[in-house]
Chain A
Amino acid sequence: MLDEILRKEGKSLEMKAFEYWMRTGIRLIFADSEEEGERKFNPYHDPDDGRFTFAPGGGTLSPRVSHSQNAPSAARQRHGGQGSTARRDQPNPDIASINRDTLQGRNQNQARLIPAQYRPNPRAGMRGNGSPPLNDPMTLDRVFPGVATGPAAVTGPARAIIGIADNILDITGPGAALTTDLAIAHSNMLIRQIREVDPNFRYDSLGFPSSFDGQMNLIRQLRVERAVAFHRVRGELRPMQVEALRQMQEQTDRAYDRAVARYNSGRLRVRLSREEAIGNYIDREVRIQLREFYNRYGVETSTNGPFRIIGREYSSSGSDRTYRIPDARIGNIAFDVSLTRKTLATPQVRGFFEADFRPDAVVIIRPSQLGSGSTYRINHPGN
């Protein structure tokens, strides 16, 4: 499969390895390469912007190229050069241990890419994984990047709307082919991150999935486990906000297709309109699936806790106590599934922001079938 991908993309294995290193900071080696010798490289990347940075404690510029006892046979690399440090390579992770204590199975391609050197973020930080080969945002800021934008002629409410990054919730991301080796590397990284947060985490496996779907499912599950670990051990909700959004978006898209089919076969109850009927069934599906999702991972929902599903969110700001009911809430973020586009001008959205829990943002989830920018985030007007 790897050879086929290289042929299609017209790239050499070395070029592919270089691209992977540029995106992730992970250096891949060829199992069958006979090249020896050290070359200068900088393995330290700022996870915020993926740029080269200094090692902890500062770096020095030196023309000397160090040799490491553990330097693997490596693809030739070209690096940006700033802040290069001449230092010994860190010992390679135990390649056998990747299989032994995490996952089994290897691609038997002739030219195998083996993760040569991975330095997990020692604090399994919240800033995400830089620019991973697979889209892996850990906070909603990564899912909805950039500053608020809106039509140039519109000020005020529209400028609080931030669109979702393209393909950010897709497992593979744009243009990234999920090879078995990439899936193994990513899965190993996720397991390490989970263990850094929860050293007691166990991953029991009968073997690494051989099918594409199986590999995607595994990555999906490990990401949720990571989010659960962050919540349970550190009280950190942001990764769970991303995983819940991912789940809700997938269920929304799926439910939309099915609801349209049911409507067309005359099996949806229509009270007001086609859109109301379809929207009603989508809402119900997303909510019950979210309950299933929380149930599976031991996440409790309650009226007082951070995880809520169609809970009344009261506002005591007026003379009368009022409430709104977002479809879901995780911490300070409200989620609402909708067919129609909603903005700050929509009374329901204004009501969310007036609620006592003072959300930082409201995420409107709409079926992707409705076009780009279907799902977006509305920031609190004061932010």
Chain B
Amino acid sequence: MRPYNPYIPKTLSELWDKLGSMMLNSPTFIDDTGYFPERSIDTEFFALNESLKLLRSKLGESNYAAMVELSNKMRAHFEADPEDVTDETLMGRDCLLAMEDIVKSLRRRAG
């Protein structure tokens, strides 16, 4: 099998898609389709954080800092509730919604 290198979103539009995907696949992000058996919470957050670095200039410093903080909080919530049985996963998804708000406002501004 070819080695798995997670895709790093390169534009705000792709980051927007990534956040939507993370909403659906949280809290463990394990792939059950068979296409990406190596996928994990590690690979997903690697991709997200690398994308934030790539888009730092487009995000602006304060948005970038906010996104990084939300990403870290979100991960902690998901790791605390891998079975999705407590409120931790819900709180993690709230972080995702907050990140979506930031990206949406930037996309709107960019037209």
A interface residue numbers (CB < 8 A to B): 213, 216-217, 220-221, 247, 250-251, 254-255, 258-259, 262, 265, 267-269, 280-281, 283-285, 287-289, 291-293, 295-298, 310
Q: Bound state CA distance, A374 and B18, in angstroms?
A: 26
Q: Which of A251, A259, A295 contacts B7 (CB 8 A)?
A: A295
The 7 closest A-B pairs by CB, nearest first: A284-B20, A217-B34, A288-B17, A258-B24, A284-B17, A295-B7, A288-B21
Instruction: Tell me if B33 counts as interface (CB < 8 A to partner A).
Output: yes
**Which residues of chain B have C-beta atoms less than 8 A from A259's C-beta?**
24
The CA of A236 and the CA of B42, in the complex, are separated in Å by: 36
Nearest CB of A to B103, in Å: 11
CA distance A209 to B21 in the complex (A): 29
Interface presence of B1 (CB below 8 A): yes
Bitwise, B76-103 to A at CB < 8 A (1) or not (0) is 0000000000000010011001001000
Q: Give the most central of B1, B18, B19: most A CB within 10 Å.
A: B1
B2 CB-CB contact with A under 8 Å: yes
- In the complex formed, the residue of A with least CB distance to B2 is A296
Per the bound structure, the CA–CA distance linking A217 and B18 in Å amounts to 24
| B24 adjacent to A255 (CB under 8 Å) | yes
Q: Are B24 and A265 in contact (CB under 8 A)?
A: no
**Interface residue B57 (Cβ < 8 Å from any Cβ of A):** no
Binary A-proximity of B39-70 (CB < 8 A = 1, otherwise 0):
00000000000000000000000000000000
- Which residue of chain B lies nearest to A224 when distances are taken between CB atoms in the complex? B35
Contact assessment for B97 and A269 in the assembled complex, using a CB-CB cutoff below 8 Å:
yes
Number of interface residues of B (CB under 8 A): 29
From known contacts A251-B33, A267-B97, infer whether A289 and B21 are also in contact, taking CB-CB under 8 Å.
yes
- Are A310 and B13 in contact, CB atoms less than 8 angstroms apart? yes
Specify which chain A residues have a CB less than 8 angstroms from the CB of B111 in the assembled complex.
none
The answer to whether B35 and A291 touch across the interface, beta carbons within 8 angstroms, is no
Select which of B6, B25, B34 is within 8 A of A213 by beta carbon: B34
Complex: A321 Cα to B3 Cα, angstroms: 42
On chain A, the residues within 8 Å of B35 by CB distance are 220, 247, 250, 289, 292-293, 296
Q: Are A250 and B33 in contact (CB under 8 A)?
A: yes
- The answer to whether B7 and A267 have CB atoms under 8 Å apart is no
Chain A residues positioned under 8 Å from B20 (CB to CB): 280-281, 283-285, 288
State which of A220, A250, A267, A284 has its C-beta within 8 Å of the C-beta of B16. Answer: A284
| Docked CA distance A220–B20 (Å) | 26
Q: From known contacts A269-B100, A288-B9, infer whether A281 and B33 are also in contact, taking CB-CB under 8 Å.
A: no
**B23 touches A (CB below 8 Å):** yes
Tell me the minimal C-beta distance from B39 to chain A in angstroms.
8
Interfacial chain A residues near B14, Cβ < 8 Å:
288, 291
> Of A267, A289, A296, which is within 8 A of B4 by CB?
A296
Contact of A265 among B1, B18, B34, B90 (CB under 8 A): B90
In the complex, what's the smallest C-beta–C-beta distance from B8 to chain A, in angstroms? 9
Determine if B1 and A285 form an interchain contact, defined as CB atoms under 8 angstroms apart: no
Assess the A216–B34 pair: CB atoms within 8 A.
Answer: yes
* Smallest Cβ-Cβ distance to B15: which chain A residue: A288
